[in-house]
Chain A
Amino acid sequence: MPNLDLYQEEFHPSPLVHTWLEFRKSHIAVLGLWLLAFFIVLVILGPLIAPFDPLLQNPNAFLVQPAWDASGSIRYLFGTDSLGRDLLSRLIYGCRMTLGISLLLVVISMLIGIALGAIAGMTRGVRSSVLNHLLDSLMAVPTLLIAIVIVGILGIGLVNSMWAICLALVPQVVHNTREVVRAEMQKEYVLASKLDGAKKFHLFFYCVLPNMYEMLVVQGTMALSIAILDISALGFLGLGAQPPSPELGVMLSEGLREAYKSPWLIALPGSAIFLMVLAVNVVGDGLRSALRNRLQN
């Protein structure tokens, strides 16, 4: 290979570095990334940080006020709930549960959805359109409703609700993937690759996938925020995770009983959900514009 390091200032960023450079330009997106990183650290290191066991009940400290209140104590930073459990520990475990499960679900449903969508987009004829129209009709129903129906069939429980949300997320991914793959397959560079003797597998990974990242990021962040909200919603309705497990939705519905006496019991889990969804959306938006700018200017 000839000498490429002729000038030291010469700098050719790889696609990944390029995306990061574009991403860094938006301060809000970077802020969102910090917030998301904070939550992800909680997911990974939760048990090491949490001061108490989330299920440990202290009979001497029911409904202790948060530390900033005059009657609060620094021992329980965010106070305790009606059973004397430390709210901070429960919140940390709750983020771990809600966000961790959502991430897992999104990865699984994206993999299934992209595989099905790619097959539907690259093939033609009856099979492809049957798959498409069947899933499209499912898209008319909100995911939460589908999830509730599936939970109704499978029965109440965290694992069942995970299956339900996972299945409910798939149709959208399939639909969008198929649309993009369809559009890409009409382009002239795909014809050029076909003339080079490219098989379908190669066409997908070389021609279509590099042009699909933007859509995947949009779809992934949307699916992640939907998954977070749905998991909490099912927990709140008592269809998903069951008390006493520290899940944000469950904590909300438990806190509702003492909402007048100790509003932080719902304010804190609620804002945790809000911040999580906000961070995911801000990062997703920033990533999408970074990917678009990388390929446009």
Chain B
Amino acid sequence: MTALLNVEELCFEQRAKHNWFNQRSGFTLSPISFELNSGETLAIVGENGSGKSLLGKLLVGAEKPKSGKIFLNGQKLSSHNIKQRCLNIRMVFQHSNESLNPGITVSKILEEPLLLNTQLNTAQRLNKIVETLKMVGLLTEHMYFYRHMLSDGQRQRLALAKALILDPQVIVADEPFAALDPSVRSQTINLIMQLQKDLGLGFIFISHNLGIVRHISDRALILKQGQLVETGKTEVIFNWPKDKYTEKLVTSHQSLIAPK
């Protein structure tokens, strides 16, 4: 059986630039390979600037990799065919606030991906919007709301709804819980886990909150400065870390939660 998502030797390089107009430091993402089965959660963990978000962007196609292949259900994804990719791999952005257009209503926000990628008529689109809103625990009336009228948790749900509305197979979430308070965060986590069970989604989840990672992910990928440090089952990594860096992460996390 082929995996849902198969990433082979994905590699990214940004050269350092030093000219008059822009200065930027270079960044290299070493070749990374992993597999994701449907219904499985993969966590990408690492410190700031380790290339976690970049890996997420490479997967959804916001950045172009230098080399490497991504297979979805055994089919190679080309960087030109954005339609095929966005129908199947959807991204939930880090700041739900900024990834939602402030000038249009929620129904318009959700309608946009449908307009661009499906042949549904107006009534079908409306049905789909209402259905998706209910799926993430929002109300039909929220269709008429603007971004600023929603709370942070509702915005997060809306961002999730926007990702789910095209019935994708993989969702890439870039720190989706970073800005939420604990109660809303756990609500959202439960919602995602429930949806994952119902729809059989593959879920790639970028975070540096190791507590959540341990709670929801099946496997984890540890990155450090663009290098893949360690990969494996989450429980194995947390209990028997092989690499020194991983060990440091795990012990620092445990010293936080363990009572002294």
CB 8 Å contact bits of B112-132 with A (1 = contact, 0 = none): 110011000001001100100
The answer to whether B116 touches A210 (Cβ under 8 A) is: no
Query: Given A192-B91, A196-B116, A206-B104, are A297 and B126 also a contact pair (CB < 8 Å)?
Result: no
Measuring CB to CB, which residues of chain A are less than 8 angstroms from any residue of chain B?
Answer: 1-2, 4, 10, 12, 15, 187-189, 191-198, 202, 206-207, 209-211, 213, 294-297
Measuring CB to CB, which residues of chain B are less than 8 angstroms from any residue of chain A?
Answer: 60-62, 82-83, 86, 91, 93, 95, 98-105, 108, 112-113, 116-117, 123, 126-127, 130, 140-141, 144, 146, 148, 162
Nearest-CB residue, chain B, relative to A7: B141
The answer to whether B101 touches A189 (Cβ under 8 A) is: yes
Partner of B130, one of A2, A15, A188, A295: A2
> For the complex, what is the distance from the CA of A28 to the CA of B177, rounded to whole Å?
45
Q: When A and B form their complex, what is the total count of cross-chain residue pairs whose Cβ atoms lie within 8 Å? A: 69
CB contacts (< 8 Å) of B95 on chain A: these are: 188
> For the complex, what is the distance from the CA of A1 to the CA of B124, rounded to whole Å?
9
Query: Given A188-B93, A196-B116, are A211 and B126 also a contact pair (CB < 8 Å)?
Result: no
Nearest-CB residue, chain B, relative to A18: B146
> For the complex, what is the distance from the CA of A187 to the CA of B95, rounded to whole Å?
11
The answer to whether B117 touches A197 (Cβ under 8 A) is: yes
A200 to chain B, nearest CB (A): 13
CB contacts (< 8 Å) of B83 on chain A: these are: 197
The answer to whether A188 touches B98 (Cβ under 8 A) is: yes
CB contacts (< 8 Å) of A189 on chain B: these are: 98-101
CB contacts (< 8 Å) of A294 on chain B: these are: 146
24 A–B contacts, CB within 8 A, in A order = A2-B130, A10-B141, A188-B93, A188-B95, A188-B98, A189-B98, A189-B99, A189-B100, A189-B101, A191-B99, A192-B99, A193-B101, A195-B61, A195-B62, A196-B86, A196-B117, A198-B116, A206-B104, A210-B103, A211-B101, A294-B146, A295-B102, A295-B148, A296-B148
